[in-house]
Structure 1
Amino acid sequence: MADHAALCEVSCLHPHAVAQARAGQPGPADIEAASTLLKVIADPTRLKLLSALQGGELCVCDLSAVIGLSESAVSHQLRLLREQRIVTFRKQGRVAYYRLLDAHVAGLIGVVLDHVREPVPS
């Protein structure tokens, strides 16, 4: 059922506002890439991994212990995150240490978590 309070009561168009909004629209390739990125991040397991990496570098063993999944499952998820340029890693001997790729990723995860933790206005 539609929320009638959220609908305009009269049909009107604001040409300047529409033109401004259209001009600010990202291109199709940017929309597709951003949508794919958000879908990857939206997975609960991957979001747990990213949240754990907010505190800094962790190896696969550490990440496995933090989120309670096997190292194999964690490695699989990290591969997907690497493919989307969300995380990166460095090797030290035989250990791979993962971290968020850059400040954009850290900011995105932080903003999303801050938003869901906000009290709902009454």
Structure 2
Amino acid sequence: MREDSKTCGFALDSPYVDLAVEVFAMLADATRVRIVLALREGELAVSDLAQAVGKSPTTVSQHLAKLRLARMVSTRQEGTRVFYKLTDEHVRQLVVDAIFQAEHAVDAQPRHHRKEHDA
């Protein structure tokens, strides 16, 4: 069974509900969403992420620090360079699903439902 097809068995009063809200709050920022999208394919250094998301390295570093505290990204150091990667597939999937939901709000037939997207 695929992970994304499993049913959530948590009760409405689960303590994870409040933590899930914190995850959504952490992702309620366009720069952080862009960082997650940039990290989909693997690790990147701050300078590469800054270029990818169109922000200064200082700004990207501040967002990465928040994502790291939230345990959404982890680091690896190589000499003086620090590389960031997503800690697991769930944050990536949350962002991808949010983008897909946004497509539904804009398009009658979202790109991810079109046949050419599957190819």
Is the structural similarity TM-score above 0.5?
yes
Supply the AA of the counterpart residue of 2:103: R
Query: Take 1:82 and 1:120, find their aligned partners in 2: how far apart are those partners?
Result: 37
Picking from 93, 99, 107, the partner of 1:113 is: 99
Q: What TM-score, normalized by structure 2, do the two folds share?
A: 0.74
> Aligned to 2:75, what secondary structure does the other structure show?
strand
Q: Distance in 2 between matches of 1:42 and 1:58?
A: 22
1:20-49: CA deviations, max 9, x gaps? Answer: xxx83142x312111011011111111111
Give the aligned partner of residue 48 of structure 1. Answer: 34
- 1:31 aligned partner: 17
Percent of aligned positions with the same letter in both sequences? Answer: 31
CA distance in structure 2 between the aligned counterparts of 1:54 and 1:71, rounded to whole angstroms: 19
- Code of the residue aligned with 1:113 in structure 2: it is I
RMSD: 1.7
Q: Which moved more, 1:91-100 or 1:101-110?
A: 101-110
Mapped to 2, the partners of 1:87 and 1:46 lie a distance apart of 11
SS in 1 for 2:55: coil
Whether 1:69 aligns to 2:66 is: no
Report the TM-score when normalising by structure 1. 0.73
Find the residue that maps to 2:77 and give its secondary structure: strand
> What are structure 2's unaligned runs of at least 5 residues?
1-9, 110-119
CA distance in 1, matches of 2:65, 2:101: 27
Tell me what 1:17 maps to.
Answer: none
User: How many residues matched?
Assistant: 98
Structure 1 unaligned spans of 5+: 1-22
Q: Matches of 1:86 and 1:44 in 2, distance apart?
A: 15
